[in-house]
């Protein structure tokens, strides 16, 4: 009876991938088998094992391994908005509004200092839009190579100088250019040609722009 079962199973060569179940309880994974009379050939890879057929009780088709689950797509994370790069004028106006200074004044100082250029470098080492010296930038806790920090720190410094000199624009501008020590020494705008020209140029640009601003416009 058992041999008859083997013959039925061997009516066609088994498809690749099956288990040969032996009468002693062992099992072997083979590619296929062939029954030849009282002998059975168990094919594995490029070779085969031949043995008496009555040593094999039956064959079981190997069930294909379940397909692995589809990978779960990573969660969609909204990308952080790209940082906005403000123009020099926008940086000047934002800082002016923050510290309560006229926009036209801050623009005039920035134009005189760096020509509104972030990469401007003076012969003395002043950096960027409002030309911060490295030691001044460190004192103000700003990175002078970052345009936004540079302008914010420069306008904050100008604001503090205006407070220091009671709102005196010429004194504050002179101190921004030559340092508060020079202004304090002379108790006025120091008699340096560079500083005198600097103060005069900004005052004229500020006054001209102020006169051109409508009465209800943002200064």
Residues with active-site annotation: 113
Handedness of CA 93, 204, 200, 118 (dihedral sign): positive
Structure tokens at 191: 């008699």
Residue 120: C-alpha distances to residues 35, 77, 125, 132, 174 (Å): 91, 39, 10, 10, 20
Structure tokens at 83: 């940082």
Alpha helices in the chain (DSSP H): 2-9, 88-99, 103-114, 134-140, 147-164, 169-178, 180-186, 193-212
Q: What's the CA gap between 198 and 189, in Å, rounded?
A: 11
């Amino acid at each position: 009876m058992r041999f008859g079962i083997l013959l039925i199973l061997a009516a066609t060569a088994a498809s690749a991938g099956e288990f040969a179940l032996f009468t002693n309880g062992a099992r072997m994974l083979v590619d296929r088998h062939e029954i030849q009379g009282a002998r059975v050939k168990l094919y594995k890879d490029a070779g085969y094992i031949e043995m008496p057929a009555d040593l094999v009780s039956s064959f079981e088709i190997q069930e294909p391994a379940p397909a692995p689950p589809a990978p779960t797509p990573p969660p969609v994370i909204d990308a952080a908005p790209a940082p906005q790069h403000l123009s020099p004028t926008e940086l000047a106006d934002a800082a002016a509004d923050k510290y309560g200074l006229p926009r036209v004044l801050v623009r005039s100082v920035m134009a005189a200092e760096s020509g509104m250029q972030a990469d401007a470098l003076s012969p003395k080492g002043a950096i960027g839009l409002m030309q911060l010296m490295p030691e001044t930038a460190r004192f103000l806790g700003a990175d002078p190579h970052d345009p936004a920090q540079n302008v914010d720190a420069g306008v904050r410094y100008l604001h503090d100088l205006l407070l220091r000199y009671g709102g005196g624009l010429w004194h504050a501008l002179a101190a921004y250019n030559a340092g508060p020590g020079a202004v304090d020494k002379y108790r006025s705008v120091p008699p340096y040609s560079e500083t005198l020209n600097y103060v005069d140029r900004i005052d004229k640009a500020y006054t001209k722009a102020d006169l051109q601003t409508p009465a209800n416009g943002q200064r």
